[in-house]
C-alpha cells in the first residue's frame, strides 16, 4: 500500500472513532494507571503499531477489541448501583464494571500480564476528575497475596479492602494514601469511586508490582 493510501486509510479510521472521552468528561486513576488509561497513555499516538502485539500484548488485545475503551478512558462507570456493587458487578467482570457501557470495556477483564506500575507498601492512588464531580467516598482494594491476576480471573473474594475515605470536595485531582504490608509481586489495585453529583460509580483496575 502506498504512503498516500495508508495515510488516507488512517484518517478514515480516525474519523470513525469518537473522542467522547474528552468531550464527555469524567475521570480515572492515573497513578498507578488504570488499565485503559495506561494503554491510552502508552499507545494513543501510535495505536496501530503492530509492535504493540509483542511489546504490550494486553493493550494490543484491548485496542483490537474496542479502541473506544481507551479513547474513553475516563468513562468506565455505572449509574444507579445504590452501593450494592457486588450485585451489579459479577466476579470476573470487575475491571469492566460489570460489562458496563454496552460492553465497551470488556477487554479490561482479560486475564494476562498487564503492564504494571512499581509501588511500595505505602503508596498514593492519584485520580483525575476531569469534570470535578467530587466524591462521596473512595474504596481502595488490593488483591490478596497468592492471587495471580496474570493467570486467574479476579473476583470479589480475591480483594482485601485497604482504604475507605470520606467525601472529597469537587476538584480535578484527588490523592488517596494507601498503606499495605506483606505484599510482594504482581497485584491489582481496585479503586471504587462513588461520585457526588449523582449515583455514579467508577470501577478502576490498576496493575502494580510490589517488588
Domains and CATH numbers, the chain: 3-209 (2.70.50.50)
Q: Does residue 128 carry a pLDDT above 70?
A: yes
Contact 119, 29 (CB under 8 A): no
Query: Which pTM does this prediction carry?
Result: 0.88
pLDDT classification of 142: cutoffs 50, 70, 90 = very high
The whole-angstrom distance between residue 87's C-alpha and the CA centroid of its chain comes to 20
pLDDT of residue 76: 98
Least confident segment among 5-14, 27-36, 89-98: 5-14
* Strand 77-79 to 159-164 pairing: unpaired
Say how many CA atoms lie within 13 Å of 210 toward its Cβ: 21
Q: Does residue 8 carry a pLDDT above 60?
A: no
Helix or strand or coil: residue 31? strand
Mean pLDDT over each residue of the chain, to the nearest integer: 90
Give the full edge-to-edge strand order of the sheet including 27-31.
Answer: 27-31, 122-129, 173-179
Q: Does residue 116 carry a pLDDT above 90?
A: yes
| pLDDT 10s digits, 179-207 | 999 999 999 999 999 999 999 999 999 99
Closest by alpha carbon to 152, among 87, 85, 92, 86?
Answer: 92
| pLDDT 10s digits, 18-47 | 333 333 469 999 999 999 999 999 999 999
Amino acid at each position: 500500500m502506498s504512503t498516500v493510501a495508508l495515510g488516507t486509510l488512517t484518517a478514515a479510521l480516525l474519523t470513525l472513532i469518537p473522542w467522547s472521552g474528552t468531550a464527555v468528561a469524567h475521570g480515572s486513576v492515573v497513578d498507578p494507571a488504570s488499565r485503559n488509561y495506561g494503554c491510552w497513555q502508552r499507545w494513543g499516538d501510535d495505536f496501530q503499531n503492530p509492535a504493540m502485539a509483542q511489546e504490550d500484548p494486553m493493550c494490543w488485545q484491548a485496542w483490537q477489541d474496542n479502541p473506544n475503551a481507551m479513547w474513553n478512558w475516563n468513562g468506565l462507570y455505572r449509574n444507579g448501583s445504590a452501593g450494592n456493587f457486588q450485585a451489579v458487578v459479577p466476579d470476573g467482570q470487575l475491571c469492566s464494571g460489570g460489562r458496563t457501557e454496552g460492553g465497551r470495556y470488556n477487554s479490561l477483564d482479560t486475564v494476562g500480564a498487564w503492564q504494571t506500575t512499581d509501588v511500595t507498601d505505602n503508596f498514593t492512588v492519584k485520580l483525575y476528575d476531569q469534570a470535578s464531580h467530587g466524591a462521596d467516598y473512595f474504596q481502595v482494594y488490593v488483591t490478596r497475596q497468592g492471587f495471580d491476576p496474570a493467570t486467574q480471573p479476579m473476583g470479589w473474594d480475591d480483594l482485601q479492602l485497604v482504604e475507605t475515605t470520606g467525601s472529597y470536595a469537587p476538584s480535578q485531582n484527588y490523592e488517596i494514601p494507601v498503606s499495605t504490608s506483606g505484599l510482594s509481586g504482581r497485584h491489582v489495585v481496585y479503586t471504587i469511586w462513588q461520585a457526588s453529583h449523582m449515583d455514579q460509580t467508577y470501577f478502576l483496575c490498576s496493575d502494580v508490582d510490589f517488588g
